[in-house]
Structure 1
Amino acid sequence: MSRITEREKEILKLLKNDPMISQEELAGLMGITRSAAAVHISNLIKKGFILGRGYVFNDKTGVLVIGRVLVEIEAGGEEKESGSSFIDIEPGGTGYLIASHLASQEIPTLLMSVIGRDEWGGIIGEKLKKSGVDVRYLMIQNKFPTPRRVILTTGQSSRENMITDARAMEAISGNSLHTLGITIDNCRMVILDSDIPPGVFTQILRMAGDAGIPLCIRLSEEQTDLVHRDDLPGVFMTVMPAPAAEAVSGLRIRHIEDAMEAAREINRLGVEISAVVLADQGVALAYNKGTVSVPIMPVQDKTGKFSLDIFTAGLVSGILQGYDHRQAVRFGMGIAVCRVRK
């Protein structure tokens, strides 16, 4: 759902106060012409704030992302261009990347996560605010530092080792959901990172199901045992790399055709939309009316890297904006690659 202008906010408030108001009366109250009022109403319908000419209002306006934010520290012995050693430090994590890139697409976005009361926690909080993310559910705790991940590489793309310190995530619990007053009833969608504490993961699954809110699960290959087949019926969308899809579907994946069959199997388990990503080959997506396969283009493959989290943000953004499934997949792939190039 796109952002609403100040003038549109005023008009929406007047319509909610008096749904029977005519466009002439609305124009008089706003000091604009009738045709201008009609354009504003048309824009509110296109943006999803009004569901039709009868002024049926859509109060489900935002996306709630629940996932980790991290300080990403990558060190290696050979940089692509110079051939010298390097150390890169930047904010990352599934929650951070999905939320910030959804907000950049003008999708109202809330993030629930945990940071430490330290310098990097402050940097991450400010960056999220500047990107337009609502951080009212971003918890600050004193016991542990802001979660961080150290990635050690050699050569241009070989990952040697990865160490993650996410002790701060212990602050997220069922009690914290209650204490923060988190409600998903007015969310347009909930996106759930599988790397959050298992108890919270299960609770959000139940809350979304009870409220009838579309749930997207971004499943990592490290947490495949967290999602059981019995959890999947009714889930709106899953996005996962091939190793995770193998664990869920029980199928071996080596090529994009295998990924498509795995996506179909996950779809048959009760997931409305299932996306399986082979980062060096492409994306396979299955939904209740068909399948989509989009290969990595040569220009995309030259980047040597694919961000599954940013792809997820683009895919969700495309679907919320009414793109068809192939367009949504291409949009997600496009912003993932553009981000890697920067």
Structure 2
Amino acid sequence: MTELPKKEQLYELIRANPFISQQDLATQLGLSRSAVANYIATLVRERRILGRAYVLPDQRPILCIGASNLDRKLRTAAKLVLGTSNPATQDESFGGVARNIAENLARLGAPTALITAVGNDASGRALLAHAEDAGIDTRGALRLDGVSSGTYTAVLDRDGEMVVALADMALNDKLSPAFLATRQQQRASAALVVADLNLPRDTISTLLDDAVRDGVPLVLVAVSEPKMVRLPHNLLGLRLLIVNEGELAVRVGRSLESDAAIGAACAEVQRQGVQDVIVTRGARGVMYTSPAGVMRLDAPAVDVVDVTGAGDAFAAAVCWSLHSGEADLGLACRRGLQLSAMTIECEQTVCPTLEPGHFDGLGTKLTESVLD
């Protein structure tokens, strides 16, 4: 068999590893760095790769940045009684907001990558192996020696509703602006960046600055009321912010007792620079900004099995719609509510039956109204 020309060999190496360095290419092909640079410039001109990240035009991923951790769920066998021991059952699974969103996206068939921090321990290795098996690119992950991977422990009542949750997420502070700088090529070549607020505040600021500079849409997903402090005041560059009612109240510094108050708070946050805001409201559905004003969308009725992961499923469906070029945020939210309901009705954090084509024909039967 005739050996491929050097340019085609180089192209195949890039296909196998889009983050390969020019020096590694030169070493493997027996070329000089300047020769490699010339071949890459030719491939860019031919539009066979896109820019410095060597990304193939049909493979620009949704890049999720944030937490991965081991989830522990404890469900009480009877009504929870505080201050004493309660009989319970336990199960473990893989979680973390960014990781959960990434797995939902990958199961939906979207090209997906994950930048996260894990310990170089059994849990960390299992987390990354599970993500890779789901089709998530984890080559950008930070692996740290001498530390434990993150954990999230949720206590659920016998009906599946969360009573309290405990999160050990300090590892995510290692996802600093300096570390993200080492993943600049990967971030700049993404089609969409989705980050959770487990990241440090200065890292969130960096992502906002880069969204303005690189033109890559950025979605931020809140994770809790205490971590809203990590959201910078200036939100210029932010395509979408997803929060719940309590998190929005923390952001604007006042209680939100009515739909009108929530609508006014969304408008206030928009004046801080974000293009759109989605407010999740549990069983009462969502509210979201639109050119016609703040809209309300009812949630479908569900049989609750386990609410863990429902918000992440909602965010994933919305991001899937944005990545697909969907300009209608209402349709994106309808898809989000459908996937959230599907997740609530199964025991797993990410529904294992989710697959590409899930949204074919869905998202058209939920009640929507404009806020007066």
Q: Compute the TM-score of the two structures, normalised by the length of structure 1.
A: 0.75
Which residue in 2 is equivalent to 1:326? 330
Deviates more, 1:87-96 or 1:205-214: 205-214
Change (3 A) 1:282 1:64: same
Whether the aligned pair in 2 keeps the contact of 1:256 and 1:281 (CA below 8 Å) is no
Provide the C-alpha distance between the structure 2 equivalents of 1:107 and 1:256, rounded to a whole number of angstroms.
34
Which residue in 2 is equivalent to 1:249? 252
Aligned pair partner of 1:222 in 200, 223, 226: 226
Q: Residue 234 of structure 1 aligns to a residue in which SS?
A: coil
**1:151 lines up with 2:154 in the alignment:** yes
> Unpaired runs of 5+ in structure 1?
1-8, 10-14, 20-48, 50-56
Provide the C-alpha distance between the structure 2 equivalents of 1:168 and 1:268, rounded to a whole number of angstroms.
33
Which residue in 2 is equivalent to 1:175? 178
Measured on the aligned residues, the alpha-carbon RMSD in Å equals 3.1
Which residue in 2 is equivalent to 1:164? 167
Of the two structures, which has the highest relative contact order with CA contacts closer than 8 Å and spacing of 6 or more?
Answer: 2
Provide the C-alpha distance between the structure 1 equivalents of 2:333 and 2:290, rounded to a whole number of angstroms.
12
**1:262 lines up with 2:261 in the alignment:** no
Provide the C-alpha distance between the structure 1 equivalents of 2:314 and 2:110, rounded to a whole number of angstroms.
15
Q: Residue 187 of structure 2 aligns to a residue in which SS?
A: coil
Change (3 A) 1:214 1:255: same
Q: Report the alpha carbon displacement of residue 79 of structure 1 after superposing the two structures with TM.
A: 6.7
Provide the C-alpha distance between the structure 2 equivalents of 1:101 and 1:59, rounded to a whole number of angstroms.
20
Whether the aligned pair in 1 keeps the contact of 2:70 and 2:93 (CA below 8 Å) is yes
Whether the aligned pair in 2 keeps the contact of 1:260 and 1:293 (CA below 8 Å) is no
Q: Report the alpha carbon displacement of residue 218 of structure 1 after superposing the two structures with TM.
A: 0.6
Change (3 A) 1:103 1:119: same
Q: Report the alpha carbon displacement of residue 329 of structure 1 after superposing the two structures with TM.
A: 0.5
Whether the aligned pair in 2 keeps the contact of 1:152 and 1:161 (CA below 8 Å) is yes
Provide the C-alpha distance between the structure 1 equivalents of 2:185 and 2:172, rounded to a whole number of angstroms.
17
Q: Report the alpha carbon displacement of residue 270 of structure 1 after superposing the two structures with TM.
A: 2.6
Change (3 A) 1:253 1:139: same
Whether the aligned pair in 1 keeps the contact of 2:155 and 2:164 (CA below 8 Å) is yes
Provide the C-alpha distance between the structure 2 equivalents of 1:200 and 1:233, rounded to a whole number of angstroms.
15
Q: Which amino acid aligns with 1:212?
A: G
Q: Report the alpha carbon displacement of residue 91 of structure 1 after superposing the two structures with TM.
A: 0.6
Whether the aligned pair in 2 keeps the contact of 1:259 and 1:278 (CA below 8 Å) is no
**1:137 lines up with 2:127 in the alignment:** no
Q: Residue 224 of structure 1 aligns to a residue in which SS?
A: helix
Q: Residue 201 of structure 1 aligns to a residue in which SS?
A: helix
| CA deviations over 1:83-103 (Å, ceiling 9, x no partner) | 962112111111111111111
Q: Residue 184 of structure 1 aligns to a residue in which SS?
A: helix
Change (3 A) 1:256 1:72: farther
Whether the aligned pair in 2 keeps the contact of 1:77 and 1:85 (CA below 8 Å) is yes
Change (3 A) 1:79 1:255: farther
Q: Report the alpha carbon displacement of residue 74 of structure 1 after superposing the two structures with TM.
A: 1.6
Provide the C-alpha distance between the structure 2 equivalents of 1:190 and 1:136, rounded to a whole number of angstroms.
16
Provide the C-alpha distance between the structure 2 equivalents of 1:59 and 1:336, rounded to a whole number of angstroms.
28
| CA deviations over 1:151-170 (Å, ceiling 9, x no partner) | 23444355444322223324
Which residue in 2 is equivalent to 1:72? 71
Q: Which amino acid aligns with 1:69?
A: S
**1:63 lines up with 2:66 in the alignment:** no
Change (3 A) 1:171 1:18: closer
Q: Residue 177 of structure 1 aligns to a residue in which SS?
A: helix
**1:312 lines up with 2:315 in the alignment:** yes
Q: Which amino acid aligns with 1:75?
A: L
Provide the C-alpha distance between the structure 1 equivalents of 2:292 and 2:107, rounded to a whole number of angstroms.
30
Whether the aligned pair in 1 keeps the contact of 2:192 and 2:323 (CA below 8 Å) is no
Provide the C-alpha distance between the structure 1 equivalents of 2:70 and 2:243, rounded to a whole number of angstroms.
22
Provide the C-alpha distance between the structure 2 equivalents of 1:302 and 1:258, rounded to a whole number of angstroms.
29
Whether the aligned pair in 1 keeps the contact of 2:212 and 2:236 (CA below 8 Å) is no
Provide the C-alpha distance between the structure 1 equivalents of 2:91 and 2:289, rounded to a whole number of angstroms.
36
Q: Residue 99 of structure 2 aligns to a residue in which SS?
A: helix
> Unpaired runs of 5+ in structure 2?
1-14, 16-42, 50-55, 80-85, 347-372
Q: Compute the TM-score of the two structures, normalised by the length of structure 2.
A: 0.69
Q: Which amino acid aligns with 2:77?
A: E
Change (3 A) 1:284 1:96: same
Aligned pair partner of 2:298 in 295, 301, 316: 295
Provide the C-alpha distance between the structure 2 equivalents of 1:255 and 1:301, rounded to a whole number of angstroms.
27
Q: Report the alpha carbon displacement of residue 297 of structure 1 after superposing the two structures with TM.
A: 2.1
Q: Calculate percent identity across the aligned residue pairs.
A: 19
